[in-house]
Amino acid sequence: MAVFKPSERVKQLPVNFFNDLDEKLAHAAPDVGKPFINLSKGNPDLPTPQPIVEAMKRAVDDPVNHAYPPFLGKENIRRAITDFYRRTYGVRLDPETEVSVFHGSHIGITAIPQVLLNPGDYLLTTDPCYPIYHSAAALAGAPVYAMPLEAANGFLPDYQIVPEHVKARTGLLMLNYPNNPTGALANESFYRETINFAKQNNIPVLNDFAYASLGFDTRKPVSLLQTEGAKDFAVEVYTLSKTFNMAGWRFGFAVGNASIIQALNHYQTHACSTVFGAVQDAAAYALASEASSIRTIVATYQKRRDLLIDRLRQIGWQMPKPAGTFFAWLPVPDGYTSQTFSDLLFEQAHLVVAPGIGFGEKGDGYIRVSLVHRTEILEEAAERIHALNLF
């Protein structure tokens, strides 16, 4: 069999950090008596709300959905998206020119850098960040400049530290609030600063709003598009994966600046195909009708967060509670790196966690654990940590 080398572009793609974790788990010694608890993943554990599943069943029966759907998405989903943004955030959008739909937000966040960046343009983002931003930059041939996120600053970046030569060559600013991995939320004043920065430097902005619905203690995450003048510079990418436990359904969309949306749609008609019409119908149903499911999902994660963090604090491990997302960003004890502490938890407690270094150098003082488990499992995880007598 001939063996072919991948292209130079594909060789630039970083190794997927989390594949290594999966490998390690697959090759771990048999876990008799203490099964591994995997807290490293961000895959919602609860099913999609039943009314959405029923809407999907009806949509599958509709012969209209058996043919190719329109390239730019069905009219009902475009309207459902703009109605959802108007109702939820008070943001007015044109369903024809300011909406793009695709197979999950992963597609949007890897495609937008490719439609905006030329080789050598910087992708400006944060350290830590969702690792796929580095993949997106590599696919676009763009170097990354990452602004550090510090707990003292609420895990919000400081634009003042960006050097002039980087600002001059930045082709896209990519943010993600509510933030994976830190669990931080952005506020209105930070978004005003962001749009000012974009205006001063003529830089387009993308906010990855994957955890849009997941704000705790009654804090509702703000949309970047609520900021005055945001549409002149910004798009926001939304997904139904987390808001409605629909990760397997693969549905996401981008909204905002019409020139970015137009370029993205143009790219998609060449590089991607359309989304199954029944998924679009079910997504339209979810966005229009399932506000109460959102409240139930948020309450579930908040309960889990409280249980886990309260228990960890009781055993002497102090940390703030995340304000949003379904992740907790836990500072590692003195004397450990994120990797050595993750290894210790793996070997001695059979807990799989994501070492912060996987999200960037600034993540090295932390591990990320996810709340996508029942409370009994999270309690068991906390008990196993207690048994290590580290605190």
Ligand X SMILES: Cc1ncc(COP(=O)(O)O)c(C=O)c1O
Report which of 221, 286, 265 is spatially closest to residue 99, judged by C-alpha positions.
265
- Residues 284/297, Cβ–Cβ less than 8 Å: no
Query: In the structure encoding, which two tokens stand for residue 132, read together?
Result: 């796929």
Question: What is the footprint of ligand X within residues 178-197 (CB under 6 A)?
Answer: 180
Query: In the structure encoding, which two tokens stand for residue 107, read together?
Result: 């597609």
Using rule CB under 6 A, residue 42 touches ligand X: yes
Question: What is the footprint of ligand X within residues 9-38 (CB under 6 A)?
Answer: none
Distance from C-alpha of 375 to C-alpha of 1, rounded to nearest angstrom:
50
Report which of 190, 260, 197, 270 is spatially closest to residue 223, judged by C-alpha positions.
190
Q: How far is CA 260 from CA 39, 173, 336, in A?
A: 36, 13, 43
End-to-end CA distance of the chain: 56
Q: Out of 78, 106, 350, 368, point to the residue binding ligand X (CB under 6 A).
A: 106
Using rule CB under 6 A, residue 39 touches ligand X: no
Distance from C-alpha of 384 to C-alpha of 332, rounded to nearest angstrom:
16
Handedness of CA 335, 338, 340, 342 (dihedral sign): positive
Q: Out of 25, 60, 139, 247, point to the residue binding ligand X (CB under 6 A).
A: 247
φ, ψ dihedrals at 307, nearest 5°:
-60, -50
Cβ closest to ligand X, residue 106 vs residue 305: 106
Q: How far is CA 281 from CA 70, 82, 103, 288, 300, in A?
A: 13, 15, 14, 11, 26
Residue 59 C-beta: closest distance to ligand X, Å: 20
Question: What is the footprint of ligand X within residues 138-167 (CB under 6 A)?
Answer: none
Using rule CB under 6 A, residue 41 touches ligand X: no
Q: Out of 124, 149, 210, 278, point to the residue binding ligand X (CB under 6 A).
A: 210
Cβ closest to ligand X, residue 140 vs residue 382: 140
Using rule CB under 6 A, residue 221 touches ligand X: no
Using rule CB under 6 A, residue 208 touches ligand X: yes
From residue 273 to residue 312, the character string flagging contacts with ligand X as x (rule: CB under 6 A) and all else as - is: ----------------------------------------
Q: Out of 100, 241, 245, 342, point to the residue binding ligand X (CB under 6 A).
A: 241
Binding site for ligand X (CB under 6 A): 42, 104-106, 109, 130, 176, 180, 208, 210, 239, 241, 247, 252
